[in-house]
């Protein structure tokens, strides 16, 4: 691991989220299940964009930057939304936020729209098997001769080794799905709102043992949009800005396709590096975090993040679940909207909406008392990303 960063930190509280929007995920889900396809990816994104503009109290004329999510074309998105901008880009959630903040810090833009749309369910995208989406560039296809044609198979392998090395039981992992469904039951926008118990989790079928069906994320259509503005602009034009305190990233690329980072250290070295970046630069620590938002395409991400970012010592995830609790009645809230497992699979974008709402104090029955600091993290294929949000 490289030594801790000593150069002056930028990307610190220079930008804020001033508007958020989404499509109606539950309605979209029901429509697609009924055989109706109301929108394509651009349509879902447009709905979310309009809602975000209304939330921010701005017009298209105020926007001088645009980032399209990686599931859509940047050029086509700009055309669809009617936006001519002086700065633009494309990327996944973290790179979109990072690009927006960097553009703002360097004076290339003042108000940036981040817009994501995905029709993955109605388009019948395959995340496993011989026709898996991304089969030309995602490294897990290298292992398809051994039956590992999906990320689910690789996370099942990770979970098996992690559990055996840490003394971590299947019931421990089940606490993630149970807690996130409890959060979702308090969220009117969540797709899966029916509460489940640990017995329901254990009785659910395996997809790739030891991962049950309830360890897997949803696959659904929808859209999300964020409006990010320069901090001074945000303070002048918004009554409830949510500041991007800082961001961090560290990638494990060496031996990645051999699965070594995944199975040897469970991404822990990358997570520790990012924890050093965000907590050292901000002056906060894990004990200051009101809400942890973990990218959860699989429930396995949650215990890995808890260890890797210093929320508990190695081998103590099960103890944290039992002693603190991660659901609505616990003291260590995680994925308070229901996350990807129960709210919506928007590839990390919906987690940002929840971070903003919790810091605004607008979450109703699931509102976390005195929410002041939210940590979002994503740890996919050894790429560790984090964003800290504050009031």
Evaluate if residue 2 carries a pLDDT over 80: no
pLDDT at 180: 98
Please say whether the beta carbons of 240 and 360 come within 8 A.
Answer: yes
Evaluate if residue 205 carries a pLDDT over 90: yes
Please say whether the beta carbons of 320 and 312 come within 8 A.
Answer: yes
Report DSSP state, residue 248. E
pLDDT at 125: 82
Edge-to-edge strand order for the sheet containing 242-251?
87-91, 65-69, 111-118, 222-230, 15-22, 242-251, 383-390, 373-380, 291-294
pLDDT at 214: 98
Mean pLDDT value of segment 222-234: 98
User: How many residues in total does the chain contain?
Assistant: 391
For residue 33, the number of C-alpha atoms closer than 13 Å in the C-beta half-sphere is 9
pLDDT at 1: 45
pLDDT at 10: 60
Domain ranges across the chain: 15-123+220-237
Mean pLDDT value of segment 186-206: 98
DSSP string spanning 136-154?
TT-GGGGGGGGT--SHHHH
Mean pLDDT value of segment 22-38: 94
pLDDT at 137: 54
pLDDT at 134: 59
Question: pLDDT tier at 259 (50, 70, 90 boundaries)?
Answer: confident
Nearest Cα to Cα of residue 80 among 270, 223, 218, 203: 223
Report DSSP state, residue 205. P
pLDDT at 128: 79
pLDDT tens per residue, range 115-156: 999 999 998 888 877 777 655 556 666 777 777 788 898 899
Comparing 1 with 243, the larger pLDDT belongs to 243
pLDDT tens per residue, range 78-94: 999 999 999 999 999 99
How many helices (H) and strands (E) in the chain?
A: 14, 11
pLDDT at 140: 63
pLDDT tens per residue, range 239-256: 999 999 999 999 999 988
pLDDT at 90: 96
pLDDT at 12: 80
Please say whether the beta carbons of 231 and 16 come within 8 A.
Answer: yes
pLDDT tens per residue, range 272-290: 999 999 999 999 999 999 9
Evaluate if residue 7 carries a pLDDT over 60: no
CATH class, 15-123+220-237 region: alpha beta
Q: Kind of pairing, strands 383-390 and 222-230?
A: unpaired
pLDDT at 391: 93
Mean pLDDT of the chain: 93
């Amino acid at each position: 691991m490289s030594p801790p960063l000593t150069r002056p930190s930028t990307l610190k509280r220079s930008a804020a989220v001033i508007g958020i929007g989404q499509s109606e995920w539950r309605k979209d889900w029901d429509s697609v299940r009924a055989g109706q396809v109301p929108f394509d990816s651009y349509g879902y994104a447009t709905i979310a964009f309009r809602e975000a503009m209304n939330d921010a109290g701005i017009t298209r004329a105020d926007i001088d930057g645009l980032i399209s999510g990686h599931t859509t074309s940047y050029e086509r998105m700009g055309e669809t939304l009617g936006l001519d901008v002086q700065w633009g880009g494309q990327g996944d959630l973290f790179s979109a936020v990072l690009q927006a903040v960097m553009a703002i810090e360097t004076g290339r833009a003042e108000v940036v729209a981040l817009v994501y749309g995905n029709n993955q369910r109605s388009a019948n995208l395959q995340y496993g098997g011989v026709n898996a989406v991304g089969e030309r560039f995602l490294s897990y296809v290298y292992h398809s001769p051994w039956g590992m044609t999906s990320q689910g198979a690789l996370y099942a392998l990770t979970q098996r080794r992690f559990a055996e090395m840490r003394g971590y039981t299947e019931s421990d992992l089940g606490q993630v799905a149970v807690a996130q469904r409890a959060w979702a039951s308090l969220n009117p926008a969540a797709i899966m709102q029916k509460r489940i118990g640990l017995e329901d989790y254990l009785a659910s079928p395996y997809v790739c043992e030891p991962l049950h069906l309830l360890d897997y994320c949803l696959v659904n259509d929808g859209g999300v949009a964020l409006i990010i503005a320069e901090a001074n602009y945000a303070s002048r034009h918004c009554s409830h800005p949510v500041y991007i305190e800082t961001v961090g990233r560290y990638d494990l690329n060496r031996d990645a396709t051999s699965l070594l980072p995944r199975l040897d250290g469970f991404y822990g070295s990358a997570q520790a590096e990012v924890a050093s970046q965000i907590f050292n630069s901000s002056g906060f620590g894990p004990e200051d975090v009101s809400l942890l938002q973990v990218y959860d395409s699989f429930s396995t991400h949650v215990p890995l993040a808890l260890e890797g970012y210093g929320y508990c010592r190695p081998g103590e995830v099960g103890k944290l679940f039992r002693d603190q609790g991660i659901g609505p009645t616990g003291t260590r809230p995680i994925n308070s909207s229901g996350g990807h497992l129960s709210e919506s699979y928007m590839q990390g974008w919906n987690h940002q909406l929840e971070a903003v709402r919790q810091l605004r104090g607008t979450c109703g029955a699931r509102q976390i008392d005195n929410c002041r600091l939210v940590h979002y993290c994503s740890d996919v294929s050894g790429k560790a990303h984090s964003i800290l949000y504050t009031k």
